Amino acid sequence: MADAPKPRVPVKAGYFTVPENPSEPPRLLGTKCLECGEHYFPRRAICARAECLSERTTDVEMGPRGTLYSYTFVHFPLFGSMRVEHVGYGVGQVDLPEGPRVQLPLAGKQEEYRVGMTLEAELEPLREDGGRDVVIVRFRPIGAAS
Amino acid sequence: MKNVAVLGVGMSRFGMWPDKSNADMGREAGMAALKDAGLSFRDVDASFVGHIFAPVMSGVRVMKEFGLTGIPVQRIENASATGSAAFAEACWAVESGRYDAVMVLGFDKMTAMIADSAAATDPANLEDAILPAGFFALWATRRMHERGTKAEHLAAIGAKNFNNGALNPMAQRQSKDKVTVEKVLASRMVAWPLTAMMSCPIGDGAACAIVGRPELARKLNPGRPVVKVTASHLGSEKYARGHLFMGPVVGPAQMTIDGAKSVYDQAGIGPKDLDLVQVHDAFAIEELEYYELLGLCAPGEAEACIERGDFELGGRVAVSSDGGLISRGHPGGPTGLAQLWETTLQLRGEAGARQRKNARTGLCHMMGGGSVCVIHVLQRD
């Protein structure tokens, strides 16, 4: 009998959704200013624009797709990490269609990436905790650069 | 800024010093600065301490090394710009007339910080995924995309800074042989396209600057050139689209452009008047960007300037003349003060083998993660 998929929990609450359906991409949890329309990631209470500073803000879900602004692959492990796959991990800055630029890990290999290409968010299981998968959000290419 | 001079400077060499405490390094740098100024600690009216990785009370506790004279002691933290930010507060305190002589002491043991954080940090924390090296590599990738920058340009900055640092007895990394572009490119990859020799090391150290009234500088050391602080700027970011709210972020470019305009206006100079410049070259791509943001060259010209050697010790304007963060080192709290140490010695004509001929005007630029930008202009009176 095949194992049923484990329930998933975010590594940190309040940054991204964890859809019930595993084939559905996660969305990033942000804020929209109701006064000027600026969007932010992560969530914040007050609009950051010096000209606005409105407290009239609301929670929004953003993405899951965005455009790659820049990327790198880091050749040493995360602080304190014992996981071999964390050597050579990718990091990218991705411009979301709503406006914010987000900086998150990238899946795959350096050769797969080019500035300007479209990426999509996905969830990566990091470890198991009490029968649940602890997941982090990262990006992966979906197609060629425009 | 009209009434502030650097009275004295001192350093404890940057390096990996497991047997030296912050108090040991701070005492060594501070006593060197007092001796350089010709002052006793009794003559110091106040102190600002720059210490990043600080437990409570660490500012006042380290200052006890010099004696307990009852002066005000304040600790300041602003990431990489910690020492520079403390220096700015001291300068404005003197300029306002509040004090005659103020000691600025910076120290840190980054080796101890790394050892502590490895045990405490969740490897999967969203913030920790982006290390500083990775963050600045993103600058490099983008620059390559927009301007056709090559890894060789970044390597040339690394080589220049290593070769300058070889002439600085206080530098952490001192190469016996001349460092070539090829050697920098062949060093270990840290975060593509940045190699280890395009990146600053982890280290420990201390540095001190004493600022005070220019008349005091003349009285204490008659005949020695007086080095005045003619501009001081500290700013944080204005929001702009593309701002990053997570990770060890520095930017956007506008903050350094605004800071540079502010100090040039205060000092009544332009970038063409500069003989030497120190920048936050934690990674070579930063130094490349700051050439343009500080107005040392026009946007898009940095690569051609590097190819011509414009920013070498004997070039148009010497940048990172003491080896910069890449070679002199970057322990944190003292880093900005090491830039002021270098600039003061250069303007007095006391920089030894790396002396820039007839240096009259120097600029010190520091970035602190988060982020902030601190810039000072020093001029020989």
The boundaries of the domain holding residue B79 are 5-114+202-220
In a 3-state reduction of DSSP, which class is residue B244? Answer: coil
Among B270, B255, B228, which residue's Cα sits nearest to residue B375?
A: B255
CA distance A136 to A122: 8
The confidence band for A77, taking pLDDT boundaries of 50, 70 and 90, is low
Q: pLDDT of B323-352, one tens digit each? A: 999 999 999 999 999 999 999 999 999 999
Note whether residue B80 is domain-resident: yes
Looking at the structure of chain B, the number of domains it has is 1
User: Between β-strands A57-62 and A28-33, what pairing exists: parallel, antiparallel or unpaired?
Assistant: antiparallel
Give residue B130's pLDDT: 67
Which of A49, A73, A101 faces B239 most closely, judged by CB atoms?
Answer: A49
Q: In chain B, whose CA is at the least distance from the CA of A88?
A: B191
CB contact under 8 A, B123 and A102: no
Note whether residue B97 is domain-resident: yes
Give residue B8's pLDDT: 98
Give residue A145's pLDDT: 38
Q: Is-above-0.90 flag for pTM? A: yes
Give residue B253's pLDDT: 85
CB contact under 8 A, B245 and A44: yes
Average pLDDT, chain A: 89
Note whether residue B377 is domain-resident: no
Q: Is the CA virtual torsion B146, B148, B150, B154 positive or negative?
A: negative
CA distance B318 to B310: 8
Give residue A80's pLDDT: 43
Q: How far is A143 from chain B (nearest CA, A)?
A: 19
In a 3-state reduction of DSSP, which class is residue B67? Answer: coil
Amino acid letter, residue A38:
E
Give residue B133's pLDDT: 85
Note whether residue B330 is domain-resident: no
CB contact under 8 A, A101 and B242: yes
Give residue B250's pLDDT: 77
Note whether residue B359 is domain-resident: no
Q: pLDDT of A20-35, one tens digit each? A: 998 999 999 999 999 9
Which of A49, A80, A103 faces B119 most closely, judged by CB atoms?
Answer: A80
Where chain B has pLDDT below 50, the residues are 118-123
Q: How far is A119 from chain B (nearest CA, A)?
A: 16
Which of B119, B128, B242 faces A78 most closely, judged by CB atoms?
Answer: B128
Q: How far is A1 from chain B (nearest CA, A)?
A: 32
Cα distance between the two ends of chain A: 44
CATH number of the domain within which B64 lies: 3.40.47.10
Q: In chain A, whose CA is at the least distance from the CA of B137?
A: A72
Strand order in the sheet with B276-278: B73-76, B46-50, B101-109, B204-212, B5-15, B227-236, B372-380, B361-368, B276-278, B318-319
CB contact under 8 A, A74 and B191: yes
**Angle of CA points B128, A93, A140, to nearest 5°:** 90
CA distance A67 to A49: 23
The confidence band for A84, taking pLDDT boundaries of 50, 70 and 90, is very low
In a 3-state reduction of DSSP, which class is residue A125? Answer: strand
Q: CB–CB of B76/B102 below 8 Å?
A: no
- The 8-class DSSP code of residue B41 comes to G
CA distance B228 to B215: 11
pLDDT for residue A2 is more than 70: no
Contacts of A36 in chain B (CB under 8 A): none
Note whether residue B212 is domain-resident: yes
CA distance B351 to B349: 6
Note whether residue B12 is domain-resident: yes
Give residue B74's pLDDT: 97
Domain ranges of chain A: 63-146
The confidence band for A86, taking pLDDT boundaries of 50, 70 and 90, is low
For residue B98, count other CB atoms closer than 10 A to its CB: 12
Contacts of A127 in chain B (CB under 8 A): 124
pLDDT for residue A79 is more than 60: no
> B29: Cβ–Cβ under 8 A, 6 or more apart, which residues?
B10, B11, B12, B105, B107, B205, B206, B207, B208, B334
CA distance B139 to B145: 10
The confidence band for A87, taking pLDDT boundaries of 50, 70 and 90, is low
CA distance B86 to B378: 16
Give residue B36's pLDDT: 98
Give residue B112's pLDDT: 81
How much is the ipTM here? 0.91
Among A52, A95, A103, the residue to mutate for chain B (most B Cβ within 10 A): A103
Q: In chain A, whose CA is at the least distance from the CA of B131?
A: A78
Q: pLDDT of A112-130, one tens digit each? A: 999 999 999 999 988 888 9
Note whether residue B37 is domain-resident: yes
Among B239, B250, B255, B289, the residue to mutate for chain A (most A Cβ within 10 A): B239
Residue with the two structure tokens 């240096």? B359
pLDDT for residue A93 is more than 70: yes
